[in-house]
Structure 1
Amino acid sequence: MDRLWHFTQTVLGIIFRHPITGTSIIPILPDGRIVLIRRRDNGLWGLPGGIVDWGENIATAVRRELAEETGLEVTQIRRLVGIYSAPDRDPRIHSICVVVEADVQGTMQIRDTLEVSDVQAFNPDSIPEGRLAHDHRQQLQDYFKGQTTLD
């Protein structure tokens, strides 16, 4: 019984005392526009993405989250934009976010209506800067600078 309790404490410690891994995608349409989603929880615009599921790698999570939130398909993951891990980057949880740039195609259609209220494509100069969720403004700035960030 003592071993079971120790195991349970260890598992709960791993789940509740360690950051959650997630991803954000900077989806680029063939015409160069960037696709953003409007979050249902706070009404702000953000990059599509989410938590990496158990047994899933980052590339698979990128493809799944993009399809769920935008209806689009990844044609190519272009580059790693950064890894963002500041404890206060997401007000809900401490998460580590792996951000990638990806070429995408298809028809925009929200499949996850519980999390997403709108999906739109923006020219790089018309992104709603003051209305971005979490640290997505920083992620986009780093992308536009062409740098890879470890934060």
Structure 2
Amino acid sequence: MNILAFFTVAIQSTRNLWRYGQTVLGIIFRHPIPGTSIIPILPDGRIVLIRRRDNGRWALPGGMVDWGEDIPNAVRRELMEETGLELAKIKRLVGVYSAPDRDPRIHSICVVVEAEVQGEMEIQDTLEVLEIKAFHLNSLPPEQMSHDHSRQLEDYLQGLTTLA
């Protein structure tokens, strides 16, 4: 095989590999990623929020559902990872939020739940969380929250179950 033939075959193989890679990436990234947000309620009725490291805004704890994991276990894991709190009970479904622009990083579908929690607040994931704080309903942060968490929290406070 001469050098020109070798490079022609190599280029064609690279193109085929790239097409295959594009197909796989398209399958992965053209589908929304499932996630969860938690509205953690302490025994005294306060709501726990985290301040995100990436944008400095207050947010509900939560994150992506891992492969092989269901929503209740993702809630339990994310709650512990971000706040150090333990899940006592999932109280209710607040909503499912699926707008393509709700998360600035990716298209994700977020299942939001109200949860009774217990334990001591302590940052576990210092790469994601700057601060944890419990708020009384009349003293929630007035500024816009991260992602669409202001809407999620408002829907919760209004007693709604939202599909958006």
TM-score by length of 2: 0.86
Is 1:127 paired with 2:127?
no
Is 1:31 paired with 2:40?
no
Identical amino acids, percent of aligned pairs: 72
In the alignment, the residues of structure 1 paired with residue 114 and residue 20 of structure 2 have an alpha-carbon distance, to the nearest angstrom, of 39
Matched with 2:79 is 66
Shift of 1:12: 2.1
Q: How does 1:67-106 map to 2 (within 5 A)?
A: 67-106=80-119
Asked which structure has the greater CA Rg, the reply is 2
In the alignment, the residues of structure 2 paired with residue 5 and residue 131 of structure 1 have an alpha-carbon distance, to the nearest angstrom, of 42
Alpha carbon RMSD of aligned pairs, Å? Answer: 1.7
Report if the CA contact (8 A) 1:44-1:132 is conserved. yes
Q: State the one-letter code of the partner of 1:110.
A: I
Structure 2, unpaired ranges of 5+: 1-12
Summarize deviations over 1:87-110 as a string: whole Å, max 9, x none: 111111111000000000000000
Aligned length: 150
Report if the CA contact (8 A) 1:38-1:118 is conserved. yes
When structure 1 is superposed on structure 2, of 66-75 and 5-14 the one drifting more is 5-14
TM-score by length of 1: 0.93
Report if the CA contact (8 A) 1:129-1:137 is conserved. no
